[in-house]
Amino acid sequence: MTDDTGDAAGDDPPTSDAAGDDPPSSDAAGDDPSVRDDEATADLSLDRFHEALEAEERPVATASEVARRLGTTQAAARDALATLVDRGDVDRIDVETDPVVFYPSDWGRLATRERIVAFPDRREIVVDRSTQFTRARLSQFAYLVDTTGTEPGTRGYLYRIRQEDVWAAPFEDADALIASLRSVLPRRYEHLEEWIRDQWRRAHRFRLYSHEDGYVVLEAANENLLGNVADQHLDDDHLRAPISETEAWVNESAVAAVKRALYDAGYPVEDDRDLETGDPVDIELTTDLRDYQETWVETFLDRRSGVYVGPPGSGKTVAAIATIAAVGGETLILVPSRELADQWRAELAAHSTIDPADVGVYHGGTKEVRPVTIATYQIAGMDRHRSLFDSRKWGLICFDECHHVTAPVYSRTAELQSKHRLGLSATPVRESGSEEEIYTLIGQPIGADWDALFDAGFVQEPEVEIRYVPWRDELARNEYASADGRERRRLAAENPAKIDEIRSLIATHRDAKALVFVEYLDQGEVIADALDVPFVSGETPHRERRQLFRRFRAGSDAGTDSDDDRVTAGTDRDDDPDAAGTDDGLDALVVSRVGDEGIDLPNAGLAVVASGLGGSRRQGSQRAGRTMRPSGSALVYVLATRGSSEEEFAQRQMRHLARKGVRVRETNVAE
């Protein structure tokens, strides 16, 4: 072969994956005789070209960029690219602001392949067209930050490896974790692996254990840790006395505070205390678990603590009941409201063999302490009731809607310690960013990827649409323009044009039961009057509220087990005084924040968020979750006044859902 580049490309392309069987002459390699063109050409397969594009983080690359990424000369890279062009694997184009650039010819082939790009310095991993294997592996040690795309199989995923993810990774040692990481990434990243090993060591530096004389001991891996880290970050009243150079006697009432302080310092504490499980509880699960629920329970039993994180309808409550049965000891269930306490009692009856006499409810109206006790956070956190809960040897404490734990009024309940601590939440995110505190006080997250549940059909993925509503009332528009601050926010939320939009949406989806969410009571009354439907708020008496929810359920598939994790079985009991006279159904309800969580409100086929967009990301998830169920349509419309701060609030809430794989679209409503 001569040094003519046309001969190097050849009219008759070679059949091997290499750029050619006959190497071009060394002249093509430029002035550096140490670089042989046949080696450079052989290295440049289509896959190697893809790697160069990934390294450049661009869809196209010049010959010089390919040469730099593959460690060869520009001339050799150019010749090899010419061969790929002739084979039809790569196309080239001349652009005005750049030299000749090359890109894959068959983008369809590229698009159907899984692509994984690691950014080790940021500890981030981007996966396009991910396989179930890759996502399952990454979920063991990485946090899903964001998703892109709309259809299953086309989404891109952004993962971040945080220190708390390494601390909670379900592996016997750091080598097993690193092996799992290497099975996913295209190559090894020494710096990232060393950081992971360091975090793993941190997670095994301190532990709590029970001394044979009954008190709690904090043990450090070495003298320096106890003398420096512990002394620096723990308060004087946390430790009662030193025992040895690596051990100290812990004040019993300060166990939770010790764990939190050391976690904040970057040293999660292993809790190996021999805590009591209480008297045995006779309970067995009567409902079959899905595979992922079984995994949740198995993982929890291995760790003895954790938070089940999954969308409404994924069966967190049933999984929690299965956990209660597996632990088999006295259980305290903490909930944010009286309504939710009553629902838990019904759920236990519906899904287990527990004797109703063994279930007690402890709140403002009823105070029963039984082997399984359901109490509100507020009551359990009060000083005059704490001694009662402290004196019980709970084998399991279950924190339902556990994002409440970090709120000041409820935080004292987290000081209650038990052998097992379980949290439940659709999304434990709080706007203060205190989800780490939740994991410190209760446990690390355990849960399925929302997107995986959608793809598997366990939960119907909601279709979320933000609809930007214009001002149609000139007086309302002018009033908004002249207002400021909080008043502007309220006026945007109460835009009168939203009423017509709500009517239109309900008419379009006339076969779906509809929930309309509002932030302001006056607006709720106005919308309810316009639609001629009831309005349920915190001011609605409990008896009337239960009646309205029961009427809303009438005629729907209320017997399913998907109603926001809370089955309606048991709510129409013969001994319920509100059950009579409620056979007339309701197709729509207007609800205030009382509908966000903790009530026996069945799922709807249609949810319209008319106001309340200044709320939290968690609130957006809760409201979208009202439409999640195993079958049927799932529609969420978020109404935002065009040109107001509601636009930003709506996009912020919905971005949180998009990160979980929920499709979100935007529409401008006509004037």
Q: Distance (Å, rounded) from C-alpha 669 to C-alpha 466?
A: 10
Superfamily of domain 291-448: P-loop containing nucleotide triphosphate hydrolases (3.40.50.300)
Q: Do the domains 5-108 and 206-272 sit in the same CATH topology, yes or no?
A: no
Q: Answer for the pair 176, 137: CB distance below 8 angstroms, yes or no.
A: no
* pLDDT (0 to 100) of residue 433: 46
pLDDT category, 249, cuts 50, 70, 90? very high
Q: Span 274-288, mean pLDDT? A: 83
pLDDT category, 599, cuts 50, 70, 90? very low
Q: Which amino acid is at 300?
A: F
* pLDDT (0 to 100) of residue 416: 63
* pLDDT (0 to 100) of residue 451: 55
pLDDT category, 383, cuts 50, 70, 90? low
Q: Span 133-148, mean pLDDT? A: 77
Q: β-strands 331-335, 396-399: how paired?
A: parallel
Q: Span 523-534, mean pLDDT? A: 93
Q: Of the CATH numbers 3.90.1310.10, 1.10.10.10, 3.60.150.10, 2.40.340.10, which one belongs to the domain with range 5-108? A: 1.10.10.10
Average pLDDT, the chain: 74
Q: Span 186-193, mean pLDDT? A: 91
Kindly give the residue spans of alpha helices, DSSP state H, lying in 282-401: 291-303, 316-327, 338-351, 377-380, 383-390
pLDDT value at 558 more than 60: no
Q: Distance (Å, rounded) from C-alpha 227 to C-alpha 185?
A: 40
Q: Distance (Å, rounded) from C-alpha 40 to C-alpha 268?
A: 49
- Condensed to tens digits (0 to 9), the pLDDT of residues 100-140 reads 777 666 544 444 567 888 899 889 998 887 776 787 778 77
Ranked by mean pLDDT, which of 7-16, 58-67, 91-100, 450-459 comes out on top? 58-67
Sketch the domain layout of the chain as residue ranges.
5-108, 116-183, 206-272, 291-448, 456-668
Instruction: Give the whole-number percent of the chain exceeding pLDDT 90.
Output: 17
- Condensed to tens digits (0 to 9), the pLDDT of residues 69-90 reads 888 888 888 888 888 888 887 8
Kindly give the residue spans of alpha helices, DSSP state H, lying in 244-304: 255-264, 291-303
| Dihedral-angle region of residue 443 (phi above 0 means left; psi in -120 to 50 means alpha; beta otherwise) | left
* pLDDT (0 to 100) of residue 488: 87
Q: Span 523-541, mean pLDDT? A: 89
pLDDT category, 172, cuts 50, 70, 90? confident
Q: Span 260-264, mean pLDDT? A: 83
- DSSP state, 460? P
CATH class as words, domain 456-668: alpha beta
Which SS3 state, helix, strand or coil, does residue 134 take? Answer: helix
Q: Span 250-256, mean pLDDT? A: 83
Q: At residue 143, what are phi and psi to the nearest 5 degrees?
A: -105, 130
The larger pLDDT score, comparing residue 410 to residue 181, is at: 181
pLDDT category, 614, cuts 50, 70, 90? very low
Architecture in CATH of 206-272: 2-Layer Sandwich (3.30)
* pLDDT (0 to 100) of residue 573: 36
Q: Distance (Å, rounded) from C-alpha 310 to C-alpha 60?
A: 39
The larger pLDDT score, comparing residue 454 to residue 182, is at: 182
Ranked by mean pLDDT, which of 310-314, 530-534, 592-596 comes out on top? 530-534
The larger pLDDT score, comparing residue 501 to residue 382, is at: 501
Q: Span 371-393, mean pLDDT? A: 75
